[in-house]
């Protein structure tokens, strides 16, 4: 298909003119659309405004016609009375005064008189104003629920839940007695206006009034509540307060100096009110009830960091008590053992806190490092990790002599962990043939980059080392890290040679080299280039004479080399 060609407006004037006309038409169509949209909205607005004005005019027209009719109806009898007055004036003074009186009375008190017409118009306005005033006054008043029982109002409450709480309070007070009396109440709620002098009754106050209405034998006392639960009533709350404080002080005296604070874990409150005589408890009996202690036997699983002394202290026992319950631990104590322990439980538990410095260990990680000290592909721990240490300030909470929680206040690292280093072997010198198998310890690495064994240790000529034949110029590496003891020419038959001292008392010798790279005193690593294979000294061909010595006694190198062995 041929591609459509468009004229160039810069060269074709006719086409350019047509283009401008089209653009102009597009602009005009757009303006027309905008004007139509504006006319729709603006016209709609004015039409709605005109409709509203017409409705207002119609309303005033109707009312004006009504007013004109009312005025006409009001003026008709007035005009008739004026004609009567004029007629009476011609008859005489008495008739004239009588007609004027009738005129005034009709104008003021008649069916369409001023008073009756004004009353018809003003009365609705006055009624509306009065209604608004009543509503405003009503909104300004305070209302509340008044609760009544058996026809008698017993208090103003903020909600029905207050009476339900009072009912529950009465139930608790009766529940602690031996009385079989059941008190039932059917409350009636009414909404009434309250003043500033009125006050809302609490659940305790309502409970007192309900008990009074029960006609039971009552008395003034103090209710004792533990965490909001009623446990009895006493006549003297001060005796209870003193006994509980003395008990807490005596308990604290038996603790060490590291204790921060000692307190009851439950709140004890006292509520003055009216209680059944039967529910009153002697003060001594109430103290015994609040301080009662029970001892139970339970089980404990020994953890790794535990000791008999620690377990006994944690459970509020002596070590002798723990041994008496678990005689085996004198001879046998290990992680995972199941021990018998005592747990003490008080009616109101006593808690105390201690601030302690605790040392914990930080595990070390591991890092992998490449090293020529190991053969290629071998992984081995080359440096053991060291645990770090952390000292923490800990707030320990004990409840009934048993540890319940720990909160770390601050912590500081006193010894940083040292990561374990795992070496990844990079030493890759090995015999030229995989058929060369040596199963020694692997303490030393194969010292030549290739080669093969041309002569073994010992034999008839009492060979001192291992000969590894290889082309002249082949690299010779240090079989283990150490310090170069000798490097250079040896006139005793080794030719160019290198001797390396290793840290554990071993020495290795590399002889008949064509040239030496290492120098005396140099510290070299395993696999580091130290010389090149040659045939210097007493040699019949290029090879490396390799010796392993300990205390200057030559060892069989094959016992220390491990190549191509599983």
The secondary element (H helix, E strand) that includes residue 426 is strand 420-427
**Residue 2, pLDDT above cutoff 50:** no
Specify the CATH number for the domain of residue 367: 2.20.230.10
Answer yes or no: do 471 and 530 share one domain: yes
Of 103, 137, 171, the residue at which a domain comes to its end is 137
Answer yes or no: do 109 and 156 share one domain: no
Instruction: List the Cα angle 328/330/336 in 5-degree steps.
Output: 60
Answer yes or no: do 268 and 163 share one domain: no
- 134-to-1, 128, 129, 311 alpha-carbon distances in Å: 92, 10, 9, 78
Residue 41: inside a domain, yes or no? no
Answer yes or no: do 178 and 242 share one domain: no
Answer yes or no: do 553 and 447 share one domain: yes
Residue 302: inside a domain, yes or no? no
**Residue 241, pLDDT above cutoff 60:** yes
Range of the domain at 444: 429-563
Residue 225: inside a domain, yes or no? no
Answer yes or no: do 396 and 435 share one domain: no
Query: pLDDT tens-digit profile of 502-548?
Result: 988 999 999 999 999 999 999 999 889 999 999 999 999 999 999 99
Residue 405: inside a domain, yes or no? yes
Specify the CATH number for the domain of residue 535: 2.70.70.10
Residue 522: inside a domain, yes or no? yes
Answer yes or no: do 456 and 556 share one domain: yes
| Number of domains, the chain | 5
User: What pLDDT was estimated at residue 475?
Assistant: 95
Residue 33: inside a domain, yes or no? no
User: What pLDDT was estimated at residue 86?
Assistant: 61
Query: pLDDT tens-digit profile of 413-468?
Result: 999 999 999 988 888 889 999 899 999 998 999 999 999 999 999 988 889 999 99
Of 270, 292, 314, the residue at which a domain comes to its end is 292
Query: pLDDT tens-digit profile of 369-423?
Result: 888 777 777 788 988 999 999 999 999 998 887 888 989 999 999 999 999 999 8
How far apart are the C-alpha atoms of 478 and 501, rounded to whole Å?
Answer: 11
User: What pLDDT was estimated at residue 11?
Assistant: 46
- Mean pLDDT on 142-159: 68
Answer yes or no: do 436 and 421 share one domain: no
- Mean pLDDT on 354-373: 88
Give pTM, 2 decimals.
0.46
Of 292, 311, 341, the residue at which a domain comes to its end is 292
The secondary element (H helix, E strand) that includes residue 310 is helix 308-314
| Neighbouring C-beta atoms of residue 82, cutoff 10 Å | 13
Answer yes or no: do 442 and 483 share one domain: yes
Share the mean pLDDT of the chain.
Answer: 79
Answer yes or no: do 486 and 555 share one domain: yes
Residue 343: inside a domain, yes or no? no
Residue 39: inside a domain, yes or no? no
Cβ burial, residue 249 (10 Å; 0-12/13-18/19+)? exposed
Answer yes or no: do 358 and 409 share one domain: yes
What is the C-alpha radius of gyration for the chain, rounded to an integer number of angstroms? 58
Answer yes or no: do 439 and 511 share one domain: yes
430-458 burial code (b ≥16 CB/10 A, e <16): bbeeeebebebeeebbbbbbbbebeeebe
Q: In what order do the strands lie in the sheet with 142-149?
A: 152-157, 142-149, 188-194
């Amino acid at each position: 298909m041929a591609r459509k060609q468009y004229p160039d407006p810069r060269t074709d004037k006719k086409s350019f003119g047509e283009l401008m006309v089209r653009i102009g038409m597009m602009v005009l169509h757009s303006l027309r659309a905008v004007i139509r949209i504006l006319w729709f909205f603006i016209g709609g607005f004015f039409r709605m405004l005109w409709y509203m004005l017409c409705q207002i005019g119609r309303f005033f027209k109707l009312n004006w016609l009504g007013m004109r009719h009312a005025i006409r109806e009001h003026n008709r009898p007035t005009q008739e009375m004026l004609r009567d007055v004029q007629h009476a004036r011609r008859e005489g003074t008495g008739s004239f005064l009588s007609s004027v009186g009738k005129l005034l009375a009709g104008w003021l008190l008649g069916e369409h008189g001023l008073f009756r017409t004004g009353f018809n118009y003003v009365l609705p306005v006055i009624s509306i104003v009065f209604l608004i005033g009543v509503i405003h006054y009503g909104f300004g008043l305070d209302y509340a629920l008044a609760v009544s029982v058996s026809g008698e109002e017993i208090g103003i409450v903020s909600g029905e839940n207050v009476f339900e709480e009072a009912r529950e309070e009465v139930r608790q007070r009766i529940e602690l007695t031996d009385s079989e009396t059941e008190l039932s109440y059917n409350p009636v709620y009414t909404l009434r206006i309250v003043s500033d002098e009125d006050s809302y009754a609490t659940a305790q106050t309502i409970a007192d009034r309900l008990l009074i209405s029960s006609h039971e034998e009552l008395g003034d006392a103090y209710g004792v509540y533990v965490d909001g639960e009623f446990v009895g009533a006493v006549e003297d709350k001060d005796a209870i307060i003193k006994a509980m404080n003395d008990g807490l002080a005596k308990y604290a005296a038996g603790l060490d100096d590291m204790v921060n604070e000692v307190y009851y874990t439950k709140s004890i409150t006292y509520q003055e009110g009216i209680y059944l005589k039967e529910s009153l408890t002697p003060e001594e009996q109430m103290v015994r009830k609040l301080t009662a202690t029970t001892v139970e036997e339970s089980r404990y699983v020994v953890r790794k960091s535990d000791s008999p002394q620690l377990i006994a202290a944690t459970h509020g026992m002596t070590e002798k008590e723990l041994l008496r319950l678990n005689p085996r631990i004198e001879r046998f104590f290990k992680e995972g053992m199941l021990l018998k322990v005592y747990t003490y439980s008080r009616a109101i538990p006593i808690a105390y806190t201690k601030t302690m410095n605790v040392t914990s260990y930080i595990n070390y990680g591991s890092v992998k490092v490449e090293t020529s000290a190991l053969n290629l592909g071998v992984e081995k721990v080359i440096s053991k990790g060291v645990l770090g240490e952390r000292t923490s300030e800990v707030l320990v909470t004990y409840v009934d002599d048993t540890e319940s929680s720990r909160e770390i206040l601050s912590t500081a690292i006193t010894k940083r962990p040292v990561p374990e280093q795992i070496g990844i072997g990079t030493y890759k010198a090995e015999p030229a043939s995989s058929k060369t198998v040596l199963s020694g310890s692997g303490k030393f690495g194969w010292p030549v980059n290739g080669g093969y064994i041309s002569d073994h240790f010992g034999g008839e000529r009492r060979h001192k080392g291992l000969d590894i034949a290889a082309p002249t110029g082949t690299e010779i590496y240090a079989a283990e890290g150490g310090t170069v003891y000798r490097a250079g020419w040896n006139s005793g038959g080794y030719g160019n040679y290198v001797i390396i001292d290793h840290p554990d008392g071993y020495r290795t010798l590399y002889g008949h080299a064509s040239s030496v790279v290492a120098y005396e005193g140099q510290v070299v690593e395993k696999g580091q280039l130290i010389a090149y294979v040659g045939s210097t000294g007493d040699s019949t061909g290029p090879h490396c004479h390799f010796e392993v010595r300990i205390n200057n006694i030559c060892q069989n190198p094959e016992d220390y080399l491990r190549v191509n062995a599983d």
